[in-house]
Amino acid sequence: MGVALGKLPGIVERFPGGAMAITRLDAAINLARSNSLWPLMFGTKCCAIEMLMATGASHHDLARFGAEVARASVRQADLMVIAGAIVKKMAPRMRLLYEQMAEPRYVIATGSCAISGGPFMYNSYTVVRGADEVVPVDVYVPGCPPRPEAFFWGLLTLQRMIREGETIREPGIRRKPVMAALPEDVSLHEIRAEIRAALANENVIDVTQAANQKPWARKVREWIQRASLR
């Protein structure tokens, strides 16, 4: 148990039968994969200008993060940046593009439209409410449209996820988190009342008791006693 097993537990894991080399290779491969993402030229809407063109251009330089080789052919790409709303006519085509991409493949959904339908969530009869209903999404970058810096942060997050081996490989396993739903028999008023009570409790401080618990309290008590004796 030298440096490798003792100090680098994340990279090398202890397995019977000497599986050490394989796990090390995985880490090396993940490192290489994370730093050579090849995005697909696939933009549907406004986000494409910001996410695919402005980031690749002169002011914000995507090449700093090793992901500037935008490919027009799906077979050569492994990162799909869903930039914009996906409508029902486009959804099967996007699924086809995803399945044609080289494995392992990663997906970043940028912008409100690709995350949840965004401004087209209500009253639209064509927009798919979130691209993750069609393909599994690794990283969501919110914004309408997100700034290029936000996209870079999403890209760095994806790279970190790849290095740690946390991306989703199998489509259909991850479920969309339902954020608006509450458990049964719980109302918003109850939650608000509970929060208010908790805040009230936390904000009321018994000053004397709090002061007695401090490390300097004993010295102060001794000093007061000495002063009163004198």
Partner 1 sequence: MTVHVRTLDELLHAPLEADSDLTTQEYLVNMGPQHPIAHGSLRVVVRLDGETVKEVIPVPGYVHRGVEKMCEHLNYRQVIPYTDRLDYLSAIMNNWAVAKTVETAAGIETNDRIEVIRTIMAELQRLQSHALWWGVTGMDLGAYTAFLYGFREREIIGEIFEETIGARLTMNYIQPGGLMYDIKPDFAAKVKKLLPYLKDCVEQYETLLSGNVIFQERLRNVGIVDGARAVALGCTGPVVRASGVPLDLRATEPYGAYGKVQFNVVVGTVGDCWDRYYVRLEEMRESIRIIEQLIDGIPDGPYSTIRYNVELTLPEGIHYGQVETARGAFGVLIVSDGKREIPYRLHFRSPNFNNLWVVTAMAPGWRIADFISIQSSLDLVIPDIDR
> Binding residues for partner 1, per CB under 8 A?
40-46, 48-50, 53-54, 57-59, 72, 74, 84-85, 87, 89-90, 93, 97, 119-120, 122-127, 144-145, 147
* Helices 20-34 and 148-163: angle between axes, nearest 10 degrees: 170
Least distance CB 93 / partner 1 (angstroms)? 6
Which CB, 9 or 119, lies closer to partner 1? 119
- Which two structure tokens, joined as six digits, stand for 226? 């000495």
The whole-angstrom separation of Cα 75 and Cα 71 is: 9
CA distances from 143 to 85, 140, 194 (A): 13, 10, 32
| Burial letters 36-60, b for 16+ CB under 10 A, else e | ebbbbebbbbebbebbbebbbeeee
Quick one: 96 or 220, whose CB is closer to partner 1?
96
Q: Least distance to partner 1 from the beta carbon of 123, Å?
A: 5
The Cα–Cα gap between 113 and 134 comes to 13
Q: Which is nearer to partner 1, 13 or 68 (CB)?
A: 68
Which lies closer to partner 1 via its Cβ, residue 43 or residue 154?
43
Rounded to a whole number of angstroms, the minimum distance from the CB of residue 124 to partner 1 is 5
For the bound state, the minimum distance from the C-beta of residue 150 to partner 1, rounded and expressed in Å, comes to 11
CB 11, CB 40: distance < 8 Å = no
Amino acid at 222: E
* Of 27 and 49, CB closest to partner 1: 49
Shortest Å distance, C-beta 19 to partner 1: 41
